[in-house]
Structure 1
Amino acid sequence: MNHQEFITEIGGVPFIDDDSFRPKALLTAVALVRRSAEPEAFTSLGAYLDPENAQLIFDRHARSKVEDLAWEEVPPAESSEVERSSRCIAKSMQAWRPLFHMPKRYRRMATSTSSTSVLVPQTIYLGPGAFRDKETLRETLIHEHAHIWLNFIAEVYDLQVPQAPNDYVLPSGTSGTSGKTYRGVMFAAHFAAAAASAHPAAERGGRDTRECAAPLSYPVPRRMPCSDGPTAVRKRDRRPGEKRTRAPIRRADTGPGRLGRRR
């Protein structure tokens, strides 16, 4: 099965193709990838979707490593806020209910707003910024859940080949130290498209769902980037002193997933 057949098999992209996406199909594929890396680790396929079990497999088989952030358990009061916000999102976006009920774990950071990593599976780090107000928490949860589900796809078929460019700058100006990868651009576009769809859906509902609206800092069309879609900037395509212009995101072939698994 190639990457195009895989996307067809799972019914499209999570948070985007609400009418066709099949969460269980993607979760099954992820569990099979993890089991192929270590077939004897767990007796049931479902056990490979437990975040703690998945971390053990990643620690032993992932092609790269990442240092864990400093964290502690999320306090009970904040855990309740997360649960309430998750229910609120599911109320206004009912197709997302299963996307907020996959196995995951939350961790509390001392600074910043939130973080996830493909190498720390199904883990959402929340900082004080996430709890600034209800709207920020809802947007943060949509943001990080979108990343986790796109991480699942990247486990099966990566979103770029190793030689893909890594010097993109997002329209917002974000680039990091050395620039964004194509994968990074895709993750940013995916979250933005997901968040853009949550607010109007809540506005169309009654008072209860309007209170669940997730705000956006800028409007984004609800579609994923392609050769003629949303744009990012290549750093090396700009001359010194030149104003930033937008160039089409270059399409990259998908490569193997993140685990060094046996075929």
Structure 2
Amino acid sequence: MTPSEIMLEINGLPFVDEKFNSAKLLTIVAIVRKNIAGSDLHLNNYVQPDFATQLYRTRVKNSPKFPPHRQLSDAENVMLQKAKVALKILLPEWKKLLDIPIKIHKLLTQQTSLTNPMLPQQIFLGEAAFKSPTNLEETLVHELSHVWSSLIAEIYDFQIKNCSDNYTLPSGTRGKDARGVLLACLFAASALNYHEKLLASGSERAKTERIVYLQSYFIKSLQTLVHSTELSEMGRLITHQLEIFAKKSRAKSLKDNL
């Protein structure tokens, strides 16, 4: 299947497009992993995080190691489950996205959270992620956006070979490649959807300043991508989809302010 055919099959982007077909993407990724593994297991086995991580370890040179971590405590697990329930109530169309097979670990560094495309479906949450229910919900959306988007990258990478790493994120973080900028842009769109829905629900936890920040972050990331010459065909297709999202978001904002 070509990148265009893949995008047509999955019907958009995770956490961005309401009609995104998560089941179709998981099926395609399972088949890709099955072909790489050269085995003949039930497809469900290929979408399990430990299987996927081990597959990368055996097939990818210099695959990354897990960062310093531990198991989640009982209290952290309770907070995490409450966050998932709250997200499903707020955004029921995200239920399947939230229920993807994943492993979540407690990160023992100063980072708020961490995922790595080379450690598929493994999420690491730092102490700051548990600071408040809103913080945990956004962080979960953030990292799950990376997890789902990285599944697309397993089929077709977002950048050309030998892509440079001289991109800078709106946050000021340097040394990123085009894939990293695209993943950041996807996270911002996902988190923006979450916070706008939280605001629309009348929640006292909603913060308009966070929405303003995420809108700015998203637009700046998107501008970087639009001007990049190092995106692959898949990367350009996703960027185009994000441009459509940006137009819809601007139109909605104008309507709300009338």
What TM-score results when the alignment is normalised by the length of structure 2? Answer: 0.82
From 28, 34, 55, the equivalent of 2:53 is 55
SS of structure 2 residue aligned to 1:88: helix
SS of structure 1 residue aligned to 2:214: coil
Matches within 5 A, 1:174-253: 174-175=173-174, 179-205=175-201, 210=203, 213=206, 215-216=210-211, 218-220=213-215, 230-232=222-224, 248-250=227-229, 252-253=231-232
- Which amino acid letter does the alignment assign opposite residue 222 of structure 2? P
For residue 163 of structure 1, report the CA deviation from its aligned partner: 2.8
Matches within 5 A, 1:81-96: 81-96=79-94
Decide which structure has greater helix share.
2
- 1:174/1:3 Cα in 2 relative to 1: closer, same or farther (>3 Å)? same
SS of structure 2 residue aligned to 1:4: helix
SS of structure 2 residue aligned to 1:173: coil
What percentage of residue pairs aligned between the two structures are identical? 31
1:137 alignment partner in structure 2: 136
- Paired residues of 1:86 and 1:100 also in contact (CA < 8 A): yes
- 1:153/1:224 Cα in 2 relative to 1: closer, same or farther (>3 Å)? farther
- Which amino acid letter does the alignment assign opposite residue 153 of structure 2? A
- Which amino acid letter does the alignment assign opposite residue 131 of structure 2? R
1:25 alignment partner in structure 2: 24
1:76 alignment partner in structure 2: 74
For residue 166 of structure 1, report the CA deviation from its aligned partner: 2.1
- 1:49/1:58 Cα in 2 relative to 1: closer, same or farther (>3 Å)? same
2:105 alignment partner in structure 1: 107
* Aligned equivalents of 2:157, 2:204: Cα separation in 1: 37
* Aligned equivalents of 2:41, 2:162: Cα separation in 1: 37
* Aligned equivalents of 1:168, 1:60: Cα separation in 2: 30
For residue 150 of structure 1, report the CA deviation from its aligned partner: 0.5
- Paired residues of 1:197 and 1:222 also in contact (CA < 8 A): no
* Aligned equivalents of 2:91, 2:3: Cα separation in 1: 28
Q: Spell out structure 1 runs of 4+ moving beyond 6 A.
A: 221-225
SS of structure 1 residue aligned to 2:120: strand
- Which amino acid letter does the alignment assign opposite residue 7 of structure 1? M
For residue 119 of structure 1, report the CA deviation from its aligned partner: 1.1
SS of structure 2 residue aligned to 1:220: helix
- 1:26/1:213 Cα in 2 relative to 1: closer, same or farther (>3 Å)? farther
- The answer to whether the aligner puts 1:14 opposite 2:14 as a matched pair is yes
For residue 64 of structure 1, report the CA deviation from its aligned partner: 4.3
1:197-220: CA deviations, max 9, x gaps? Answer: 1112122225xxx26758447031
- Paired residues of 1:71 and 1:108 also in contact (CA < 8 A): yes
- Paired residues of 1:110 and 1:127 also in contact (CA < 8 A): yes
1:180-239: CA deviations, max 9, x gaps? Answer: 100000000000011111112122225xxx2675844703179889xxx82239xxxxxx
- Paired residues of 1:122 and 1:148 also in contact (CA < 8 A): yes
* Aligned equivalents of 1:161, 1:79: Cα separation in 2: 39
- Which amino acid letter does the alignment assign opposite residue 213 of structure 2? Y
- Which amino acid letter does the alignment assign opposite residue 110 of structure 1? L
- In structure 2, stretches of 5+ residues that fail to align are 235-258
- The answer to whether the aligner puts 1:122 opposite 2:121 as a matched pair is yes
- Kindly report the root-mean-square deviation, in angstroms, between the aligned alpha carbons of the 2 structures: 2.5
